[in-house]
Amino acid sequence: MATIRVFVGIDYHDQELQVCVLDESGRVLANCPCENSAAAVGAVVQRHGRMAYVAIEACCGAADLADVLVVGFGWSVDLAHPGYVRRMKQNPDKTDFSDARLLADLERVGYLPKVWQAPAAIRDLRELVRYRQTLADQRRSIKLRIRGLLRQHRQKPPEGVNPWTVAWLQWATKAAELSETSRWVLRAYFDELRALAVRIKAVELRLYQQTAGDGLVDHLASLKGFGRLTAIVLRAELGRFDRFRTGKQLARFCGVSPRNASSGQKQADAGLIRASNPQLRMVVIELAHRLARYQARWKKLKADLVARGKPGSLATAAVANRYLRWLYHQGKELALAA
């Protein structure tokens, strides 16, 4: 039994798992539910073979289970892209039984659409980065509410005073003509902003501490246009540059590649691809804005595209696309040297 190879598909749920075990010919050896624990999975699988190749549908919690199975049993474990797996299914019905069987069969024949399994350190870094983004979103929401409250009372700052400057804040908190209730609400909003600023600063300090000595982050932060925080976000969301085959694939992953909508004799673009991480795309576009403002090469590229009639937003996305293709080779060489 030690040399018998089996192929395992696991349909993941918080409370229980559906585990399907196939032999090399595709015969079903087991397809049953078990509790959500590595020991329970091991008990089901090891009745049929010791050398297991496992596929788990990528979802919240699946990566942690995969780590435990790799460390505890020495199995080969892949995470499957749930969207592609669903499209490959031959019937519209969805059951845990059939999903686990499909995952095991795709693993057996080598057609499993895999996603990259980030190491635990990268997953922890992502958690911090996304927590900071949650706080930043809350801060933006409160700022919009403050501006809306002032507009509701038809209050306008003095001429030449820009929003969120020291002079604007003094005007909003002291000189703006508001009712007593609105003044109380405004003070509460500003209290929330101050509290959020403290929390965001604490998260950023933790991010800097956690990435101290990270070669990739240090390299990215040393490039023109990058800040330390931008470098950390790319490190968290991309993980390793060498997991992408080409710079074009990296640009598509970041959501700054054009989406083709051609059919027959009709050739057309349909804007940027939509299947990407919105936060990652936002950070990359902000980076492209800085590059196009301060670096001659990218400034010229954007100006040339605008001169040809391209919208400014599209030209900025093109700068991001080209820059990521260049950055891919920098990051890949650094990863391979590590």
- Domain final residue, candidates 210, 227, 252: 210
- Cα 22–chain centre separation: 33
pLDDT digits (tens, 9 = 90+) for 10-39: 999 988 999 999 999 999 999 999 999 999
Same domain, 256 and 152: no
pTM attached to this predicted model: 0.86
Averaged pLDDT score across all residues of the chain: 90
Region 40-67: what's the mean pLDDT?
92
Mark whether 63 and 150 lie in a shared domain. Answer: no
The range of the structural domain enclosing residue 224 comes to: 216-337
List Cβ neighbours of 150 (8 Å cut-off, separation of 6 or more).
172, 176
Identify the bridge partners of residue 51 per DSSP, sorted by sequence position: 5
Query: Which residue, of 168, 184, 210, is where some domain finishes?
Result: 210
Of 169, 176, 175, 187, give the one whose Cα is nearest residue 154. 176
* pLDDT for res 338: 46
Residues 171, 253, single domain; the answer is: no
Check pLDDT > 80 for residue 3. no
Residues 101 and 160 in one domain: no
Q: Is the pLDDT of residue 91 over 90?
A: no
Res 124 pLDDT > 60: yes
Domain boundary among 210, 238, 259: 210
Q: What is the pLDDT of residue 143?
A: 97
Say if residue 168 is in the same domain as residue 263: no
Answer with the residue of higher pLDDT: 85 or 68: 68
> What percent of the chain lies above the pLDDT cut of 70?
95
For residue 257, the model assigns a pLDDT of 85
Q: What is the CATH number of the domain that holds 63?
A: 3.30.420.10
User: How confident is the model at residue 275, as a pLDDT?
Assistant: 73
Alpha helix segments (H runs only) across the chain: 38-45, 62-73, 82-88, 96-109, 120-152, 166-170, 180-210, 215-222, 228-238, 247-253, 278-294, 296-307, 312-337
Chain segment 200-259, per-residue pLDDT in tens = 999 999 999 999 989 899 999 999 889 999 999 999 999 999 899 999 999 999 998 887
Specify whether 333 is located in the same domain as 221: yes
Q: Are residues 220 and 318 in the same domain?
A: yes
Residue 87 has pLDDT above 70, yes or no: yes
Q: What pLDDT is recorded for position 261?
A: 67
Burial call 230-260: b when 16+ CB within 10 Å, e when fewer = bbbbbbbbbbbbeebeebeebbbbbbbbbee
**Least confident range of 38-42, 130-134, 264-268:** 264-268
More confident residue, 326 or 276: 326
Q: How confident is the model at residue 337 (pLDDT cuts 50, 70, 90)?
A: very low
What is the model's pLDDT at position 259? 73
Do the Cβ atoms of 228 and 210 come closer than 8 Å? no
Q: Do 19 and 106 share a domain, yes or no?
A: yes
Instruction: Please count the structural domains in the chain.
Output: 3
Question: Residue 277 is which amino acid?
Answer: N
